[in-house]
Amino acid sequence: MAAVTEVERLLESGLTAESAGNVREALIRYEAAVKSAPDAATPALRLGTLCHRLRDYERARQLLERAAGLDPNDPDIAFRLGAACDALGDRTAAAASYGRTMALAPAGWQTWFLIGRQHRQLGRAEVAQAAYRRALAIIPDQPDVLAELGSLLLEIGRPQEALPYLKAAVQATRTDAGLALQLGLAYLQHDDVVAAQGVLLDAKHLDPADRLIDKALQDLANHRKRARRNRKAA
């Protein structure tokens, strides 16, 4: 059995920290892995993906471009680079990376995810759901797919169906304020104000400057005020 390298230990401990929501420790570990193995694609992929979840899209793109240069045939790197370019509004670069993703993994979860998103953007909710479910059949705990399917169900007014997917996505990725926000909104639509408050406060901790989270917390406060008035009126 091959000995575990220092870089592998750093990546494993970074993943453990990330799974526990310990953003600072995960960043430290992944940064150390990138410095220890500057010619390896995986450390740059891990750090770039985390930076994307933390909404540092510019740095995410830089790291993922580096990873793509080191391993141009990895569909996950191409997919993540496309997502970073997309978040920065560079649609041309995003389309190129997404196209490469689909060419590298025509039957992979990334391709089904992209097919689902395309149909969602065209308003074909049922077709999009089917594509997302195909992706989950390949990798059931993939947080991006879980979140996308959950948010779609939430968008079309099915919060009860959305909840399991969004909960699983947040449990798999405790460093993404956007996913926590989606779950909080689903709880709020489901009238579970206690759960909504806990998740939205977690989202606020992850991204204190996000105005959408502030709005959701205000909506939660208004929801509670209405509930109190209704109880008094009764």
pTM for this entry: 0.87
Q: φ, ψ for residue 70 (rounded to 5)?
A: -80, -35
DSSP 139-165: -TT-HHHHHHHHHHHHHTT-HHHHHHH
Beta-carbon contacts of residue 53 (< 8 Å; ≥ 6 apart): 173, 175, 176
The pLDDT assigned to 42 comes to: 97
Say whether pLDDT at 200 is over 70.
yes
Say whether pLDDT at 202 is over 90.
yes
The pLDDT assigned to 1 comes to: 37
Say whether pLDDT at 10 is over 70.
yes
The pLDDT assigned to 49 comes to: 97
The pLDDT assigned to 99 comes to: 97
CA dist., res. 196 & res. 12, Å (int): 31
Say whether pLDDT at 4 is over 70.
no
Asked whether residue 150 is domain-assigned, the answer is yes
Structure confidence by residue, pLDDT tens digits, 82-132: 999 999 999 999 999 999 999 999 999 999 999 999 999 999 999 999 999
Domain of 145, in residue numbers:
141-234
Asked whether residue 199 is domain-assigned, the answer is yes
Using alpha carbons only, how large is the chain's radius of gyration in Å? 19
Task: Write the single-letter amino acid at 171.
Answer: Q
Say whether pLDDT at 3 is over 60.
no
208: its two tokens = 């204190």
204: its two tokens = 């606020």
Asked whether residue 65 is domain-assigned, the answer is no
Asked whether residue 80 is domain-assigned, the answer is no
Positive or negative torsion for Cα 31, 54, 89, 113: positive
Q: Residue 228's domain is classified under what CATH number? A: 1.25.40.10
- Given phi > 0 = left and psi -120 to 50 = alpha, else beta, which region is 92? alpha
Asked whether residue 15 is domain-assigned, the answer is no
Asked whether residue 102 is domain-assigned, the answer is no
3-state secondary structure of 167: helix
Count of domains observed in the chain: 1
Asked whether residue 152 is domain-assigned, the answer is yes
Asked whether residue 233 is domain-assigned, the answer is yes
Structure confidence by residue, pLDDT tens digits, 27-74: 999 999 999 999 999 999 999 999 999 999 999 999 999 999 999 999
